[in-house]
């Protein structure tokens, strides 16, 4: 048989099951499909070196160092190529090793998958193969608890009903068991099954299933990576293999986010590049001016070679310029990049390790997906949060329902088990019927599964499951569903006496109040989607009636039911919504045989469509879900997350603006906002919703503009000017504004009918929003969430945004914002996978931002400034020395010092500082949210602090050089009358330099752990030790033993000691003075500001 | 309640991972800084006074003998054609110049720290490796080979430009000249003389033979193996004057140790009286506007005379003291205002 026949299409593939040609198709053409190898690795052994090197040198900094290195090799330059080659080599090697290691891990993981043994049916025999050898068309056997080696079409299952259970936990984190079905009508004899399958070319959407056949749908497809559960064995035919599987297509790197700090680094780099170039230009110019004086250019004691004399003057100038560049190039340090990378990488472990982020409930802590953004956590200005599952627990509790206008309270079910039947309102026969219909609807209209694991070992006998489950206490019944609302509803119905027993072979069983089992044949599930905001099922009762049950948001149900029914229910729904409950309306309709037949064919056709399936399905759904009658509404409480209000308050106190973006109803969302204290009693709400736009006289656009102007006047113009630097005044004197907008209005604002208004609308809207303490956007589609984030992100001053969410609908905004935070909630793992950081609970956000973010920012900002500073005062003396050596590019320091300065002598203390520093302890940071404002707007990396550090570097550089210069006015510094030479000069300057920059860091360190002590004093000791060692031996590989005993001789001179001491002290004196004098004097500020070491 | 798996996933509760390592949190409070500054200031003033006084006790006599002015004794030697010119500089000391007296020569506007000049030597030659005698280091050019392509040993600009003025010092007692013995030992770094520089081993017992096939540096009047024919320990690359010259000066104005006066009647110093310094004037400096001088100085524990260090210590010390007073005032003032607020 053939499973299907379709016209051949370009974008489809034909698969021959078991590689047997089909009798009635044309010639058997084995098509070329890729093999089942998963390759996530980037390199092979052979191309690793060239490819990795190429990638590394594409980075602008590395390329710059490579150029410098090449100049040193080619041109006759003052320092040997080793001085810049060695650090570059070090950096490149470390990076290559790191990337190589990561790639090796990927290779290992790939191999594990690729070499996994699988069983393939070949010519009637089971053959063990390695997973990578599976070809498209192979029939593969998978046993329980194994993962599928490739995307398979389920042909045969060991279960009698032709189903199998699958968990996709490793794909999307949803741990529920999903039911998949075998292809109907396949013969039991797989060995001789001649069939072809035609299906779409692979596409990556995990949730959009494509297979289009006569009767094949997503329920027939088993995805690679998913695990077989509760089923002994299945056979399936491979349709997509290797890199074409859904999992592989979904495996792709996320776009790189760059942090604000990196932008600052690049700006500073430019400044230093300018300094470098101008230094080189100054020196080159002065050199030629100086040389023009007679006798200076070529004194008799230093004559030029013939070649030098012959060289073109301009060429000489150019090489001189290059030489100066090389001499001063250390001002832009290679090692800064390494240190910054290391700091970020190692620093991010502190988030993962933090036990405060560990949630005992899910047994997980925080997760760091990227370490590039650590410091960005300390710079957040806007927080966009999802409501459901983020602000609220997504732990639904059935609160009450309303059937046909009568309200049924249902709280604390344990105490009043039968509180349902008589609450208020008359109980008559009709009412009774409605009630039962409503409860049946709740029991049937969902996609909940009964968890079998809870029913002990006996439940493994799948057939007997019903009988075994019955005597179980009802509380123990476990349900699994993609949405917790559904579970709450099913549980709610259970409390009222209607228990859902499970779905078995397309028939749903429920136990009614009389403990009778009712059975319904599940004909169709019209899945939930966020656009329709409702879902339906079509079932057939025992008696042959076909019923459609639909549940969904009020706004999506009300237009589809008879209007006269709406009013009675609407009142309840709105009241529930204001109380912060999530409401759903339930409707039903009875389908006549003809109606059903139409719907059935329509749905089937839509499902099989190869093109525009989504739209076709949607249209069909909309067509079926009409003319229903409303039965009732439910109210489910979604409790707030632990400490949601405290967290929000802390964020606002820290100067962040919190925007709630939710798909929920305005009333519900508003009540949540009040509950989280985003809106307070005094907050004046500015509402911009469909309702406020309804105005008899004016058109919607006009009304919108009028409202926008009005709100703008109130919130922006009349508001007292906000002091610069303080984003939100915390005195109560100011009127707080809250802004509410819904999705429909937002799209009107963003895309007004007349394009000309767009910018005006937007700027008004943005200005209003920026002056409000909290903004609530409700009824948002996922893409609109991202749109809002993007709008704020690109607004004036480009504020740093953070998005936090837990569900698939938040992914777009998580990806859009500067920092995306995923909550390890109950709605799968999509948000977590796409986030930059994932935390188990909302309350962890407070510590993540206020403590970790703050510290990371301070650390890295200090790291960056310090690096520039220490290289400035490193190179400045070398620059000044040019004025005293006839601009001959004579290095002041020995090559070893030039090379080691950044690698060994001064790198470790700053790394330790940037990992461990806590200038303010975490507790104080958490208690005083306002401290977060101290570092707002990239405060430590603005031009002012940069200027401060630069001036400090210049001051110290001048001091080092001229201090020693004056000492050397008489170079007889030893008590035996002997004189010191140029290398002694350089070594004294270098010693002062190393000690000063290290002690400067020591002064800045506010948190001295033993590691800091070890590294700071260790570095200094290492410098001394190294200098002795380096100067203590005649190194056979050195052409010149420049430093031989220079250091030891230096230490034998009392004058050298004294000058070193006084220069160090003098360099640090201004710093000490500033620290002491900058201390604010107010008694309140003292405890807080006392610890701030930064003088600005 | 916790099982194994739980413990594995739970982050380690160590002080390090929780960023709770015990830490010392120093606060630069006024209570520490003010007395600290005062102490440092006083200590520095003390050191400064010591340095300054020491520097004052050091006697220095120096004299430019370049001969730029027409009436200066060495003017006639500045004419280049005048070979083997000697001139005599006379001076008188009014008090005893306490010994040991160190005799320096000084050059100015002389760039020993030119980069190309600095690398223009062959360390392997100077370490006595005759393997490099025939093929000097390329950096030595244009002082690597003479015009006949013979390798120069020691090659390079530094060696070639060795300072070759020589001096004889006489005390004039009643019109007769009494030569002051000059001690040429111990004027170079101990490690240069004993370890860094080595003479080639003699060939067939002859030191000169080891230099076979090489020529002397162009400017040298005699080859390296004839630098000191009297004292074999001061000959060749181990000649003290050569070693002193090879240690490049840091700045274009420098002095180098020439001799010490430690022997005989002058061990206690140069007595007051008239002296005559006979200069064998060989070294041309006027072509690049350089100057030559001789310096007599004695040294203390801090080396030669250098007022800078003492003054610097005094200034910084007083600065610290002043700062501590200012801080005290500021602190006291704001402390009071704090109390008012409270």
B195-225 pLDDT per residue, tens: 999 999 998 888 889 998 899 999 999 999 9
Per the CB < 8 Å rule, is A888 touching B111? yes
A198: left (phi over 0), alpha (psi -120 to 50) or beta: beta
- Look at A885 and B12 and tell me if their CB atoms are within 8 Å: no
The domain defined by A12-19+134-251 folds into 2.70.150
- Residue B29 in this model has a pLDDT that exceeds 80: no
- Per-residue model confidence (pLDDT) at position A3: 43
Confidence at residue A956, expressed as pLDDT on a 0 to 100 scale = 96
- State yes or no: cis peptide before B142, omega within 30 of 0: yes
Q: Is the pLDDT of residue A461 over 80?
A: no
State the average pLDDT over residues B151-164.
Answer: 93
Q: Which of residues 282-321 of A touch B (CB under 8 A)?
A: 294-296, 299-306
Instruction: Tell if the CB–CB gap between B23 and A973 is shorter than 8 Å.
Output: no
Is the pLDDT assigned to residue A212 strictly greater than 70?
no
Q: What is the pLDDT of residues A883-896, one digit of tens each?
A: 999 999 999 999 88
**What is the average pLDDT across A954-965?**
96
Check if A974 contacts B (Cβ < 8 Å). yes
Cβ-Cβ contacts under 8 Å for A337 (sequence gap 6 or more): A61, A62, A91
Mean pLDDT of A75-88: 80
Tell me how far CA of residue A386 lies from CA of A805, A812, A813, A818, in angstroms. 5, 12, 9, 16
Sort out which chain B residues have CB atoms less than 8 A from A295's CB and list them: 287-289
CB distance A600 to A621 below 8 Å: no
Q: What token pair was written down for A499?
A: 């228990």
With CA atoms as reference, report the closest residue to A368 among A14, A821, A753: A821
The answer to whether A388 is a known ligand-binding residue is yes
Are the Cβ atoms of A1045 and B189 closer than 8 angstroms? yes
Higher-pLDDT residue of A1020 and A103 is A1020
> Residue A263 — pLDDT band, cuts 50, 70, 90?
confident
Mutate to test the interface with A, among B101, B102, B115 (most CBs of A within 10 A): B115
> Which stretches of A752-911 are assigned E, i.e. beta strand?
774-778, 801-805, 819-823, 837-839
Percent helix, percent strand, percent coil in chain A, to nearest 5:
50, 15, 35
**Residue B106 pLDDT > 80:** yes
pLDDT of residue B327: 84
* Domain limits, chain A: 12-19+134-251, 367-391+641-715+735-839, 397-412+428-451+478-638, 863-1090
Q: Compute the average pLDDT of residues A829-835.
A: 78
The one-character DSSP state at A592 is: P
Q: According to the annotation, is A779 in a ligand binding site?
A: yes
Nearest neighbour of B249 by CB, restricted to A971, A973, A1083: A971
pLDDT of residue A455: 40
Which range of A231-245, A255-269, B121-135 scores highest in mean pLDDT? It is B121-135
Minimal Cβ distance to B306: which of A985, A1055, A1069: A1055
What is residue A427's predicted lDDT score, i.e. its pLDDT?
A: 52
* Residue A203 confidence (pLDDT): 58
pLDDT above 90: residue A8: no
Read off the pLDDT band of B114 (50, 70, 90): very high
pLDDT on residue A9: 42
Q: Using one digit for the tens of pLDDT, what is the confidence trace for B288-303?
A: 899 999 999 999 988 8
Structure tokens at A991: 């010693």
The model's pLDDT over A216-228, given as tens digits with 9 standing for 90+, comes to 666 778 888 788 8
Q: Indicate if the pLDDT at residue A407 is higher than 60.
A: yes
Summarize the confidence of residues B45-68 as an average pLDDT.
Answer: 93
Cβ of B252 within 8 Å of Cβ of A885? The answer is: yes
The answer to whether A386 is a known catalytic residue is yes
> Is the CB of A953 inside 8 Å of chain B's CB atoms?
no
Considering only the beta carbons, identify the residue of B123, B308, B319 that sits closest to A1040: B123
What's the complex ipTM?
0.95
Closest CA to A345 of A66, A58, A63, A94: A94
Decide if A909 contacts A997 (C-beta within 8 A).
no
Does A664 appear as a known binding residue? yes
CATH of A397-412+428-451+478-638, one of 3.40.50.720, 3.40.1110.10, 3.40.190.10, 2.40.50.140: 3.40.1110.10
Tell me what percent of the residues of chain B surpass a pLDDT of 90: 55
Confidence of residue A80 (pLDDT cuts 50, 70, 90): confident
Asked if B342 lies within 8 A of A1083 by C-beta distance, the reply is yes
Comparing A101-105, A545-549, A725-729, B38-42, the range with the smallest average pLDDT is A725-729
Report whether A551 belongs to an annotated binding site: yes
Q: Is B5's pLDDT higher than 70?
A: no
What is the residue whose two structure tokens read 């949730």? A207
Q: Would you say residue A697 has pLDDT above 60?
A: yes
pLDDT for A827 equals 61
Query: Would you call B255 and A971 a contact, using CB atoms and an 8 Å cutoff?
Result: yes
pLDDT tens per residue, range A369-399 = 887 888 899 999 999 998 877 888 767 788 8
Q: Which CATH superfamily is domain A367-391+641-715+735-839 in?
A: HAD superfamily/HAD-like (3.40.50.1000)
Tens of pLDDT, residues A480-537: 666 677 888 888 888 888 888 887 777 888 888 888 888 888 888 887 776 677 888 8
Interface contact A1076-B120, CB threshold 8 A:
no
Phi and psi angles of residue B81, each rounded to the nearest 5 degrees, phi first = -70, -15
Which of A483-487, A716-720, A909-913 has the lowest average pLDDT?
Answer: A716-720
Name the E strands within B94-210.
97-98, 101-108, 166-173, 176-179
Percent over 70 (pLDDT), chain A: 83
Residues 356-375, chain A: which have Cβ within 8 Å of B?
357-358, 363-365
**What is the pLDDT, as a whole number, of residue A606?**
81
Beginning with the edge strand found earlier in the chain, give each strand of the sheet holding A177-181 in spatial order: A177-181, A163-167, A227-229
Mean pLDDT rounded to a whole number for chain A: 80
Q: What is the mean pLDDT of residues B130-152?
A: 90
Query: What does the block give as tokens for A703?
Result: 């009304």
Whether the pTM exceeds 0.90: the reply is: no
- Using CA coordinates, name the residue in chain A closest to B21: A1009
Q: Are A990 and A897 in contact (CB under 8 A)?
A: yes
* Averaged pLDDT for residues A301-329: 89
Task: Work out the mean pLDDT of chain B and round it to a whole number.
Answer: 88
Residue A911 in this model has a pLDDT that exceeds 90 = yes
Q: What are phi and psi of A728, to 5 degrees?
A: -140, 125
Does A794 or A680 have the greater pLDDT score?
A794
Nearest to B306 among A306, A967, A1072 (CB): A967
A810 is in an annotated binding site: yes
Give the range among A233-247, A456-470, A955-969 with minimum mean pLDDT: A456-470
Q: Is the pLDDT of residue A1089 over 50?
A: no
The average pLDDT across A396-413 equals 73
A88–chain B Cβ distance below 8 A for any pair: no
The strand pair at A629-640 and A581-591 is best described as antiparallel
From A1086's Cα to the closest Cα of chain B, the distance in A is 11
Residues A311-329, mean pLDDT to the nearest whole number: 91
Mean pLDDT of A768-772: 84
Q: Mutating which of A1076, A1084, A1087, A1093 best tests the B interface, going by the most B Cβ atoms within 10 A? A: A1076
Instruction: Return the SS3 of A121.
Output: strand
φ/ψ (deg, to 5) at A735: -75, 130
Name the nearest CA neighbour of A271 among A931, A741, A810, A953: A953
Query: Smallest Cβ distance to B113: which of A982, A1058, A1083?
Result: A982
- Rounded to the nearest angstrom, the minimum Cα separation between B76 and chain A is 21
A403 and A629 in contact (C-beta within 8 Å)? no
Residues whose CB is less than 8 angstroms from the CB of residue A1031 and which lie 6 or more positions away in sequence, other chains included? A1043, A1044, A1045, A1046, A1047, A1048
Whether the per-residue pLDDT at A56 is higher than 60: the answer is: yes
Report yes or no: B178 and B114 within 8 Å, Cβ to Cβ. Answer: no
The 3-state secondary structure of B229-294 reads: CCCHHHCHHHCHHHHHHHCCCCCCCEEEEEEEECCHHHCCEECCEEEEEEEEECCCCHHHCCEEEE
In A866-905, the residues whose Cβ lies within 8 Å of chain B are 884-886, 888-891
- pLDDT tens-digit map of A287-313: 999 998 888 888 999 888 888 888 888
State the pLDDT confidence band at A468, using cuts at 50, 70 and 90.
very low
- Tell which of A72, A301, A1083 to mutate to test the B interface (max B CBs under 10 Å): A301
Tell me if B19 and A358 make a contact (CB, 8 A cut-off): no
Say how far apart CA A790 and CA A1047 lie, in whole Å.
59
Indicate if the pLDDT at residue A912 is higher than 70.
yes
Determine the residue among B16, B250, B342 to mutate to test chain A binding: the one whose Cβ has the most chain A Cβ atoms within 10 Å: B250
Inter-chain residue contact A1058 with B313, CB threshold 8 Å = yes
pLDDT of amino acid B1: 39
Nearest beta carbon to residue A967 from set B21, B127, B308: B308
Average pLDDT (A437-441) is 86
């Amino acid at each position: 048989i053939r499973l299907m026949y379709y016209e051949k299409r370009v974008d489809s593939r034909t698969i021959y099951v078991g590689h047997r040609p089909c009798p009635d198709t044309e010639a058997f053409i084995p098509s070329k499909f890729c093999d089942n190898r998963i390759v996530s690795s980037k390199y092979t052994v052979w191309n690793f070196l060239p490819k990795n090197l190429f990638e590394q040198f594409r980075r602008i900094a590395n390329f710059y160092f490579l150029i410098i290195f090449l100049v040193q090799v080619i041109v006759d330059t003052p320092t040997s190529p080793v001085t810049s080659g060695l650090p570059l080599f070090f950096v490149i090697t470390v990076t290559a090793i790191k990337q190589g290691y990561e790639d090796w891990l990927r290779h290992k993981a790939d191999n594990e998958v690729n070499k996994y043994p699988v069983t393939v049916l070949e010519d009637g025999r089971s053959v063990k193969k390695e997973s990578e050898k599976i070809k498209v068309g192979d029939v593969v056997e998978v046993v329980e608890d194994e993962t599928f080696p490739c995307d398979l079409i389920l042909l045969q299952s060991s279960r009698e009903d032709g189903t199998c259970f699958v968990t996709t936990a490793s794909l999307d984190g949803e741990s529920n068991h999903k039911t998949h079905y075998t292809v109907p009508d396949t013969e039991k004899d797989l060995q001789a099954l001649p069939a072809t399958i035609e299906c779409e070319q692979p596409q990556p959407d995990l949730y959009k299933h494509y297979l289009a056949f006569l009767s094949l749908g997503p329920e027939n497809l088993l995805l690679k990576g998913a695990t077989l559960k509760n089923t002994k064995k299945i056979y399936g035919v491979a349709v997509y293999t290797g890199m074409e599987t859904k999992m592989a297509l979904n495996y792709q790197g996320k776009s790189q986010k760059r942090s604000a700090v990196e932008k600052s680094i690049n700006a500073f780099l430019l400044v230093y590049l300018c300094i470098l170039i101008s230094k080189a230009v100054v020196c080159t110019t002065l050199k030629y001016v100086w040389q023009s004086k007679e006798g200076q250019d070529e004194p008799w004691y230093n004559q030029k070679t013939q070649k030098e004399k012959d060289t073109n003057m301009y060429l000489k100038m150019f090489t001189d310029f290059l030489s100066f560049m090389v001499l001063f190039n250390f001002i832009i340090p290679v090692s800064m990049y390494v240190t910054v990378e290391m700091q970020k990488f190692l620093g991010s472990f502190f988030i993962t390790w933090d036990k405060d982020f560990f949630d005992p409930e899910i047994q997980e802590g925080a997760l760091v997906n990227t370490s590039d953004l650590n410091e960005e956590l300390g710079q957040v200005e806007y927080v966009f949060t999802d409501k459901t599952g983020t602000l609220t627990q997504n732990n639904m509790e059935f609160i009450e329902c309303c059937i046909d206008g009568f309200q049924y309270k249902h709280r604390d079910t344990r105490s009043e088990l039968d509180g349902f039947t008589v609450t208020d309102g008359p109980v008559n026969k009709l009412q009774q019927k409605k009630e039962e219909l409503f409860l049946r609807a709740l029991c049937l209209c969902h996609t909940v599964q009964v968890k079998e694991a809870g029913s002990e070992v006996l439940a493994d006998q799948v057939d007997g499951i019903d009988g075994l489950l019955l005597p179980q206490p009802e509380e123990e019944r476990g349900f699994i569903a993609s949405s917790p609302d559904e579970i709450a509803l099913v549980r709610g119905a259970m409390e009222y006496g209607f228990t859902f027993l499970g779905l078995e072979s397309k028939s749903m069983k429920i136990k009614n109040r009389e403990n009778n089992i009712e059975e319904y044949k599940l004909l169709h599930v019209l899945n939930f989607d966020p656009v329709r905001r409702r879902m339906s099922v079509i079932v057939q009762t025992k008696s042959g009636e076909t019923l459609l049950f639909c549940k969904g948001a009020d706004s999506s149900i009300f237009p589809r039911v008879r209007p006269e029914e709406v009013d009675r229910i609407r009142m309840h729904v709105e009241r529930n919504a204001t109380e912060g409950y999530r409401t759903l309306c339930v409707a039903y309709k009875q389908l006549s045989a003809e109606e059903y037949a139409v719907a059935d064919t329509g749905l089937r056709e839509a499902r099989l469509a190869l093109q525009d399936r989504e739209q076709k399905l949607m249209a069909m759904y909309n067509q079926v879900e009409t003319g229903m009658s409303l039965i009732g509404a439910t109210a489910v409480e979604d409790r707030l997350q632990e400490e949601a209000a405290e967290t929000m308050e802390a964020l606002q106190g820290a100067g962040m603006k919190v925007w709630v973006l939710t798909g929920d109803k305005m009333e519900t969302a508003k009540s949540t906002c009040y509950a989280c204290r985003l809106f307070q009693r005094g907050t004046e709400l500015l509402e911009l919703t469909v309702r406020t736009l309804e105005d008899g006289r004016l058109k919607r656009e006009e009304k919108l503009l009028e409202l926008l102007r009005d709100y703008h006047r109130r919130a922006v113009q009349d508001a007292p000017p906000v002091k610069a630097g303080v984003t939100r005044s915390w005195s109560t004197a100011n009127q707080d504004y809250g802004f509410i907008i819904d999705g429909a209005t937002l799209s009107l604002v963003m895309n007004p009918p007349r394009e000309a208004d767009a910018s005006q609308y937007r700027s008004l809207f943005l200005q209003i929003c920026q002056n409000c303490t909290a903004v609530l956007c409700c009824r948002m589609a996922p893409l609109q969430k991202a749109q809002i984030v993007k709008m704020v992100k690109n607004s004036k001053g480009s504020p740093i945004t953070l998005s936090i969410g837990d569900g698939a609908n938040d992914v777009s905004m998580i990806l859009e914002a500067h920092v995306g935070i995923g909550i390890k909630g109950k709605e799968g793992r999509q948000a977590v996978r796409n986030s930059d950081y994932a935390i188990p609970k909302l309350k962890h956000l407070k510590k993540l931002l206020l403590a970790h973010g703050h510290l990371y920012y301070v650390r890295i900002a200090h790291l960056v400034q310090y690096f520039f500073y220490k290289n400035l005062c490193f190179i400045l003396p070398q620059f000044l020395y040019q004025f005293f050596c006839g601009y001959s590019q004579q290095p002041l320091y020995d090559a070893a010092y030039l090379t080691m300065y950044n690698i060994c002598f001064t790198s470790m203390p700053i790394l330790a500082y940037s990992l461990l520093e806590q200038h303010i302890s975490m507790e104080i940071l958490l208690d005083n949210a306002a401290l977060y404002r101290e570092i707002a707007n990239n405060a430590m990396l603005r031009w002012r602090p940069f200027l401060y550090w630069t001036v400090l570097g210049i001051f110290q550089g001048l001091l080092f050089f001229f201090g020693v210069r004056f000492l050397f006015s008489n170079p007889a510094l030893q008590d035996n009358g002997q004189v010191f030479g140029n290398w002694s000069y350089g070594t004294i300057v270098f010693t002062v330099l190393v000690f000063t920059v290290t002690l400067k860091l020591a002064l800045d360190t506010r948190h001295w752990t033993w590691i800091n002590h070890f590294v700071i004093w260790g570095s200094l000791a290492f410098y001394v030790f190294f200098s002795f060692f380096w100067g203590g031996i005649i190194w056979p590989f050195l052409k010149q033993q420049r430093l031989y005993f220079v250091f030891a001789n230096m230490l034998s001179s009392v004058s050298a000691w004294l000058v070193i001491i006084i220069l160090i002290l003098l360099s640090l004196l201004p710093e000490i003075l500033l620290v002491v004098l900058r201390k604010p004097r107010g008694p309140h500020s003292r405890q807080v500001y006392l610890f701030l070491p930064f003088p600005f | 309640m916790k099982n194994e798996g739980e413990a594995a996933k739970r982050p380690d509760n160590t002080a390090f991972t929780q960023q709770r390592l015990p830490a010392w949190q120093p606060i630069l409070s006024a209570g520490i800084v003010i007395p600290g500054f005062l102490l440092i200031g006083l200590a520095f003033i003390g050191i400064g006074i010591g340095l300054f006084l020491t520097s004052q006790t050091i006697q220095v006599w120096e004299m430019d003998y370049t001969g730029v002015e027409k009436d200066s004794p060495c003017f006639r030697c500045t004419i280049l054609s005048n070979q083997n010119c000697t001139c005599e500089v006379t001076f008188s000391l009014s008090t005893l110049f306490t010994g040991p007296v160190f005799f320096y020569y000084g050059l100015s506007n002389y760039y020993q720290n030119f980069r190309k000049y600095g690398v223009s030597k062959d360390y392997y030659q100077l370490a006595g490796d005759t393997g490099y005698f025939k093929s000097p280091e390329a950096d030595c050019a244009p002082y690597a080979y003479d015009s006949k392509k013979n390798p120069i040993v020691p090659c390079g600009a530094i060696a070639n430009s060795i300072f070759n003025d020589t001096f004889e010092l006489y005390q004039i007692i009643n019109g007769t000249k009494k030569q002051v013995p000059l001690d040429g030992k111990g004027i170079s770094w101990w490690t240069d003389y004993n370890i860094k520089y080595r003479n080639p081993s003699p060939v067939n017992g002859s030191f000169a033979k080891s230099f076979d096939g090489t020529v002397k540096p162009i400017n040298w009047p005699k080859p390296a193996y004839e630098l000191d024919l009297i004292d074999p320990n001061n000959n060749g690359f181990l000649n003290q004057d050569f070693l002193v010259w090879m240690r490049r000066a840091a700045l274009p104005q420098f002095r180098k140790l020439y001799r010490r006066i430690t022997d005989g009647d002058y061990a206690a110093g140069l007595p007051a009286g008239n002296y005559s310094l006979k200069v064998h004037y060989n070294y041309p400096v006027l072509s690049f506007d350089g100057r030559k001088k001789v310096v007599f100085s004695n040294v203390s524990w801090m080396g030669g005379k250098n007022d800078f260090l003492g003054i610097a210590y005094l200034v910084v010390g007083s600065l610290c003291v002043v700062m501590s007073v200012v801080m005290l005032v500021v602190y006291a003032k704001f402390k009071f205002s704090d109390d008012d607020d409270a």
